[in-house]
Amino acid sequence: MGNTLAIAHKEIKSYFASPVAYVVIGFSAILFGWFFINLLYYFDRASMQAGGGFGGPQTVNVNEMLISPLFMNVSVILLFTLPLITMRTYAEEKRSGTIELLLTSPLTDVQIVIGKFLGCLVLYGAMLAITLVHMGFLFAFGNPEWRPIAAGYLGLILMGGCFLSLGLFISSLTRNQIVAGMVTFAVFLLFWVINWIASFTGPTMQTVLNYLSITEHLNDFARGVIDTSHLVYYVSFIAFSLFLTVRSVDSERWRG
Amino acid sequence: MIEVQHLTRRYGPTTAVDDVSFRVESGEVLGFLGPNGAGKTTTMRVLTGYMPASDGKAIVAGYDVSEHPLEAKRRTGYLPETPPLYPEMTVRDYLTFVARIKGVPRSERKTRVNAAMDRTRVMDMADRHCAKLSKGYKQRVGLAQALMHNPEVLILDEPTAGLDPKQIIETRKLITELGGDHTIILSTHILPEVSQTCQRIVIINKGRVVAVDTPENLMSRLGGSETLYIQIDASGSDATATLEAIPGITKVAPADVRGSLAGFEVSSEMGHDVRRELAAAVVGRGWGLLELRPLRMSLEEIFLHLTTEDTAAADTPEQTSMGAPPEPATLPEEATHG
């Protein structure tokens, strides 16, 4: 445990000592703010028209019309930014030779992998924490329900965890950061759009593809529903990716 | 104590290390010599648990590195070829992180980090980022990293690479100091370094051990005979016959002639010191004796001899691939205990 935390601590320190953390957090905040303002204007207009009987909605709900779509939009930001967080994790250590320090220290591979994953997760958490400011505005000027919001954040953390663990695995396969970043981005995107083809396939295939899509599982969380099947999906996705990473680090020793 | 038994490491079809066996006693400093690509780094990586062996065994500080990797790693300090530094961390932060993952208890971390920085003289760079260090400082921070948890065994891959002459001398001194309470393997290209710091040498070529011995033994074994260089002013007369007539001398070869000065390489039987007779004969003839010095086969020559000639490798397989040193009696005192 201490060793895992030591690795996590080192990862976080590295992120914040380099521009990586500030660039990732800063620019994500700008994008998030942009999405927020757009949805806010949309919500504002909808609430003006509400109940007017001129084709507008009968009632408006800030959770349903603003927060839920906002969470879905955040997943777009994650698609682009999370590869930037994970691409260096292993690739950089291999290129600079610091991996030799880690692998010759009294640490297990699992401790190293989990430590790195936690480090990424904390940086991602810091990125999400910025969005609490926007939520603060909603609470200050409206009265949204906090429970669906909490569920939405849980969903985002779990989905981010999937992306991060997968990115970690891809980074462990190469010593080139750019390759790691590009492949991670491509795989993320693929997992995102994998169910686009679902409506053209048979019912079985459709279910499978929908189940595989990382973002499909976020829908319910964004709406405030915590469904155990989604929890199982995310947690097993993360566990499997981390397992693959451990195996990949181990096989690296054999390949040399 | 380090014991390597029939160690083999293959990368796909290529064999980087082929049936290597040797033993390093506690407190001994062993030099690991070989041309580039001979398998030095690979052997060290197996010993440190960085990669597994394809075959054979490596025992470090009493633990088999493949069966008890964590126990072995706890007792090993390793300086890889490129010092494993995190560029964005300061020296102190970096060493504190190393102390943490090497299992130094929290209460001792600060003192151990300071001690390691003191020992390797990097204290003045403590708050500098690793990326901004010169090559020499990087190397020394790497060494501080290896010493951090005061390991029984130190494995140093070219510890003096990139250092300036003054730093090289300081580092060699440090290694000599560390020998005695640490078991050390160091690899190097610089041959005088091994004769100065190491009690024994393993010469490796193309993945195979070609020689294991003390520097002195290697020199005398491969020298075969003792050779002297003598320069005399024989004022035109031929000195060869006079010199050959001295008992014990086996060969006299003219080396250089400069005006009336003539230099000769005089070989004698092993263990037969002919310097007094030589000097007496020269002076007795009324010639001038300008220079008389022993010529030995240098380590460079031995090294080239062993690593370039396949015949040389075939000559000495009996003595070389043994685990134990061939002549323990020749080991310096401190090598046998400590």
Average pLDDT on A97-109 reads: 93
Q: Which of B199, B207, B208 is nearest to B31 (CA)?
A: B199
Please check whether residue B128 lies inside any domain of the structure: no
Please name the residue of chain B whose CA is at the shortest distance from the CA of residue A14. B88
A161 to chain B, closest Cα gap in Å: 25
In this structure, is residue B271 part of a structural domain? Answer: yes
SS3 A10: helix
In a domain, B80, yes or no: no
- According to DSSP, residue A214 is labeled T
The CATH number assigned to the domain holding B253 equals 3.30.70.3190
Q: Do A101 and B103 touch (CB under 8 A)?
A: no
Mean pLDDT score, A224-245: 93
B84 in contact with chain A, both atoms CB, cutoff 8 A: yes
Q: Does A25 have pLDDT greater than 50?
A: yes
pTM of the model: 0.81
Q: Say if residue B194 is in the same domain as residue B304.
A: yes
In chain A, what percentage of residues exceed pLDDT 70?
96
Q: Pairing between strand B55-60 and B288-295?
A: unpaired
Are B163 and B65 part of one and the same domain?
A: yes
Q: What is the reported pLDDT for B325?
A: 39
The predicted structure's pLDDT at residue B338: 33
Residues of B with CB below 8 A from A253's CB? Answer: 50-52
Say whether B80 and A100 touch across the interface (CB within 8 A): yes
Residues of B in contact with A97 (CB under 8 A): 80-84
- List C-alpha distances in Å: A201 to A189, A193, A207, A215, A217: 20, 14, 10, 19, 20
**Shared domain check, B272 and B171:** no
CA A135-A137-A143 angle, to 5 degrees, is 80
B97 contact A CB<8A? yes
Q: Say which residues have a Cβ less than 8 Å from residue A86's Cβ, sequence separation at least 6.
A: A120, A163, A164, A167, A168, A170, A171, A180, A184
| Residue B208 is assigned to a structural domain of this protein | yes
Angle between helices B135-147 and B91-101 (to 10 degrees): 30
State the pLDDT at residue B236: 64
Shared domain for B251 and B280, answered yes or no, is: yes
Q: Which of B247, B249, B195 has its CA nearest to residue B225?
A: B249
* Angstroms from A170 CA to nearest CA on chain B: 21
| Secondary structure (3-state) at A150 | helix
| Beta-carbon-side half-sphere exposure of residue B92 (alpha carbons within 13 Å) | 9
* CATH classification of the domain holding B14: 3.40.50.300
Backbone angles phi, psi at B272, to 5 degrees: -110, 105
Interface A-B, measured as beta-carbon pairs within 8 A, has a size of 76
In a domain, B163, yes or no: yes
Write the secondary structure of chain B as one string of H (helix), E (strand) and C (coil). Answer: CEEEEEEEEEECCEEEEEEEEEEECCCCEEEEECCCCCCHHHHHHHHCCCCCCCEEEEEECCEECCCCHHHHHHCEEEECCCCCCCCCCEHHHHHHHHHHHCCCCHHHHHHHHHHHHHHCCCHHHCCCEHHHCCHHHHHHHHHHHHHCCCCCEEEEECCCCCCCHHHHHHHHHHHHHHECCEEEEEEECCHHHHHHHCCEEEEEECCEEEEEECHHHHHHHHHCCEEEEEEEECCCCCCHHHHHCCCCEEEEEEEEEECCEEEEEEEECCCCCCHHHHHHHHHHCCCEEEEEEEECCCHHHHHHHHHHCHHHHHHCHHHHCCCCCCCHHHCCHHHCCC
The partner residue sitting opposite A13, judged by closest CB among B51, B52, B93, is B93
Q: Which two tokens stand for residue B270?
A: 């092993």
Lowest-pLDDT choice from A38-42, A54-58, A178-182, B122-126: A54-58
* pLDDT above 70 for A225: yes
- Residue B69 shares a structural domain with residue B164: yes
Q: Work out the burial of residue A166: count CB atoms within 10 Å of its CB; fewer than 13 is exposed, 13-18 middle, 19 or more buried.
A: buried
Whole-number Cα distances in Å, A112 to A125, A145, B3, B84? 20, 39, 28, 16
B42 in reach of chain A (CB within 8 A): yes
Same domain, B155 and B214: yes
DSSP-derived secondary structure letter, A200 = G
- Decide if B117 is inside a domain: no
Same domain membership, residue B71 and residue B8: yes
Closest by Cα among B296, B329, B326, B337 to B23? B326
Contact A107 B49 (CB under 8 A): no
Cβ contact (<8 Å) for A98 and B73?
no
Sheet holding B288-295, edge to edge: B249-258, B261-268, B226-233, B288-295
Q: Does residue B172 sit in the same domain as residue B235?
A: no
* Closest-CA distance of chain B to residue A101, Å: 6
Q: Are A169 and A113 in contact (CB under 8 A)?
A: no
What is the arithmetic mean of pLDDT over A124-150? 89
In this complex, do A254 and B51 lie within 8 Å of one another by their Cβ atoms?
Answer: yes
> What does the pLDDT profile of chain B (338 residues) look like in tens digits?
899 999 999 988 889 999 999 999 999 999 988 888 888 999 999 999 999 999 999 999 999 999 999 999 999 999 998 999 999 999 999 999 999 999 999 999 999 999 999 999 899 999 999 999 998 899 999 999 999 999 999 999 988 887 888 888 888 888 988 888 899 999 987 777 777 788 898 988 888 998 888 877 776 665 556 778 888 887 766 778 888 888 888 888 888 887 778 888 888 776 677 888 888 888 888 888 888 887 765 666 667 777 775 544 444 444 443 433 333 333 333 333 43
Residue numbers in A near B87 (CB within 8 A): 96
Residue B46 has a pLDDT of 93
Q: How far apart are CA B46 and CA A86, in angstroms?
A: 29
Specify whether B199 is located in the same domain as B285.
Answer: no
* Residue B71 sits in the same domain as residue B203: yes
Residue B156, domain extent: 2-75+151-220+300-320
pLDDT above 90 covers a percentage of chain A that reads 48
> Is B338 contained in some domain?
no
Q: Is B52 on the interface with A (CB under 8 A)?
A: yes
Give the pLDDT mean for A40-58: 73
Distance of CA A190 to the CA centre of its chain: 15
The residues, ordered by sequence, that sit 6+ positions from A140 with a Cβ below 8 Å of its Cβ are: none
Structural domains of chain B, count: 2
- Report which of B13, B18, B4 is spatially closest to residue B207, judged by C-alpha positions: B18
In a domain, B144, yes or no: no
Residues B26, B60, single domain; the answer is yes
What is residue B322's predicted lDDT score, i.e. its pLDDT?
40
- Does B64 share its domain with B181? yes
